[in-house]
Amino acid sequence: MASGDAPCQHVDHGPADHRLADRWPALIITGQPPIGHQSSQRPLHASAYARAAITAAEYDAKGERIDRWVELRATRQGILAGDDPPRLLSIIDESVVRRQIGGAVCLATQLEELARHAVRPNIEIRVLPFSAGAPASPSGAFRILTMEEPFPEVGYAETPKGAIYI
* pLDDT, tens digit (0-9, with 9 covering 90-100), for 36-80: 444 445 668 788 888 888 888 777 878 888 888 888 878 878 888
> What is the pLDDT at residue 73?
77
User: pLDDT tens digits, residue range 103-122?
Assistant: 999 999 989 989 998 999 99
Residue 3 lies in a domain: no
Bridge partners (DSSP) of residue 144 are 29, 155
Q: What is the dihedral of CA 15, 21, 25, 27, to 10 degrees?
A: -20
Residue 2 lies in a domain: no
What's the number of domains the chain is made of? 1
Residue 61 lies in a domain: yes
Instruction: For residues 5-18, give the mean pLDDT.
Output: 41
> Looking at the predicted structure, is the pLDDT value of residue 11 above 60?
no
Residue 1 lies in a domain: no
Residue 44 lies in a domain: yes
What is the span of the domain harbouring residue 151? 9-165
Whether 35 contacts 53, CB under 8 Å:
yes
Query: Greater confidence, 125 or 40?
Result: 125
Could you give the CA distance from residue 98 to residue 85 in angstroms, rounded to a whole number?
A: 29
Q: What is the mean pLDDT of the chain?
A: 75
Starting from the edge strand earliest in sequence, which strands make up the sheet with 142-146, in order? 9-11, 162-165, 154-159, 142-146, 27-31, 87-93, 123-128
Given pLDDT bands bounded at 50, 70 and 90, which one contains residue 139? Answer: low
